[in-house]
């Protein structure tokens, strides 16, 4: 079955998850005075128009991190907030966006062979790909992507920053490095939901920081546990999923334990770059357990 339309879930009062064809979700939080949009999708449909229907008040757009399926829709907006450690990736991606949106050959058969697009730092962007199960959920051939003809102003997100939506609802920014260096999670006091992006999710990839950095990020996030009852990540399950469900609260503890098994030697790092615990499958760089300037963690 192919899905070629976004699915909208009301996951709490005035709180919406927009599931983009099973590929990724972004979120719209509506207060009495202001709204907050967490990520803005792939630009496979007009996100701004949809948000306008859901959110009748002025709103800010915040990005969890720089990966394309979370921020390609930013071309619809004048300003987006993102952590400074993510900004360079967006600035360097102009050429990549051009190629993505103007070369239909890239999209033809994308679900068949994956996207193998070189990044400025020499790595390769290969998402989504059939090997990861994407083909069963969506098919790019029937989706036309909106051209990315301008980049919005990038505003600096800071750890601890708070977006006030009204007198009784605010959303706090939590810097959660690991998946990427400047990844941020968002804690909504109104719905008591943690929006964890790709920073704490079942298919947890830690390829752009050390495992030690990620572990410390999870430890800090753990301090906020009393303030949320549910976790919504950007990808509900491994690969792709259209479900609009929250994730088990054990997710964070599972991420911590998975990291610990890598750092304390329980996992034979030479043999694998995966560690699983509970609900979490952790993928990490076996050559980057700790960075040069980091203090080791002793368990």
Nearest distance in Å: CB 238, Zn ion = 14
Contact call for residues 176 and 146 (beta carbons, < 8 A): no
Return the structure tokens found at 212. 């030690």
d(CA 126, CA 113): 9
Residues 226-255 that bind Zn ion (CB under 5 A): none
| Contact window for Zn ion (CB under 5 A) among 62-70, 149-157, 158-166, 219-227 | 62-70
Binding-site size, Zn ion (CB under 5 A)? 2
d(CA 178, CA 211): 7
| Contact window for Zn ion (CB under 5 A) among 3-11, 193-201, 212-220, 258-266 | 193-201
Q: Which is nearer to Zn ion, 67 or 169 (CB)?
A: 67
Helix (H, G, I), strand (E, B) or coil at 268: coil
Nearest distance in Å: CB 198, Zn ion = 4
Work out whether 34 is an interface residue with Zn ion (CB under 5 A): no
The one among 188, 198, 208, 254 contacting Zn ion by CB under 5 A: 198
Scored b (16 or more CB within 10 A) or e, 161-199 reads bebebeeebbbbbbbbbbbbbbbbbbbbbbbebbbbbbb
d(CA 6, CA 218): 31
| Contact window for Zn ion (CB under 5 A) among 25-33, 52-60, 61-69, 115-123 | 61-69
Residues 6+ apart with CB under 8 A from 120: 92, 93, 95, 96
Helix (H, G, I), strand (E, B) or coil at 177: coil
Nearest distance in Å: CB 176, Zn ion = 12
Q: What are 173's strand-pairing partners?
A: 186
Nearest distance in Å: CB 82, Zn ion = 13
Helix (H, G, I), strand (E, B) or coil at 127: coil
Q: Which is nearer to Zn ion, 26 or 190 (CB)?
A: 26
Contact call for residues 255 and 204 (beta carbons, < 8 A): yes
Q: Which is nearer to Zn ion, 24 or 267 (CB)?
A: 24
| Contact window for Zn ion (CB under 5 A) among 121-129, 163-171, 190-198, 207-215 | 190-198
Nearest distance in Å: CB 279, Zn ion = 18
Nearest distance in Å: CB 25, Zn ion = 12
| Contact window for Zn ion (CB under 5 A) among 39-47, 111-119, 191-199, 280-288 | 191-199
Residues 64-93 that bind Zn ion (CB under 5 A): 67
**Helix 84-92 vs helix 94-102: crossing angle, to nearest 10:** 50
Q: Which is nearer to Zn ion, 60 or 198 (CB)?
A: 198
Nearest distance in Å: CB 155, Zn ion = 20
**Which residues are near Zn ion by CB under 5 A?**
67, 198
């Amino acid at each position: 079955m192919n899905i070629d339309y976004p699915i909208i879930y009301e996951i709490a009062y005035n709180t919406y998850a927009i599931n983009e064809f099973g590929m990724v979700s972004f979120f719209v939080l509506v207060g009495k005075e202001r709204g907050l949009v967490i990520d803005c999708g792939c630009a496979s449909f007009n996100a701004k128009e949809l948000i306008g229907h859901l959110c009748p008040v002025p709103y800010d757009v915040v990005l969890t991190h720089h990966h394309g399926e979370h921020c390609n829709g930013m071309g619809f907006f004048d300003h987006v907030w993102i952590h400074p450690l993510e900004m360079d990736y967006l600035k360097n991606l102009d050429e990549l966006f051009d190629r993505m949106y103007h070369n239909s050959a890239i999209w033809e058969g994308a679900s068949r062979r994956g996207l193998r697009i070189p990044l400025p730092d020499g790595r390769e962007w290969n998402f989504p790909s059939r090997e990861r199960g994407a083909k069963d959920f969506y098919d790019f051939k029937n989706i036309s992507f909106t051209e990315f003809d301008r980049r919005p102003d990038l505003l600096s997100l800071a750890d601890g920053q708070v977006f006030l939506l009204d007198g009784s609802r605010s959303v706090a920014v939590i810097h959660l490095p690991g998946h990427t260096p400047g990844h941020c999670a968002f804690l909504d006091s109104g719905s008591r939901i943690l929006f964890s992006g790709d920073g704490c999710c079942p298919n947890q990839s830690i390829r752009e920081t050390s495992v030690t950095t990620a572990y410390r990020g999870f430890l800090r996030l753990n301090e906020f546990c009393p303030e949320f009852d549910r976790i919504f990540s950007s990808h509900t399950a491994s690969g792709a999923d259209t479900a609009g469900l929250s994730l088990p609260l054990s997710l964070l503890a599972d991420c911590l334990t998975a990291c610990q098994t890598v750092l304390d030697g329980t996992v034979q790092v030479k043999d694998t770059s995966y560690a699983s615990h509970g609900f979490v499958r952790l993928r990490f760089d076996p050559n980057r357990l700790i960075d040069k300037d980091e203090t080791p963690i002793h368990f």
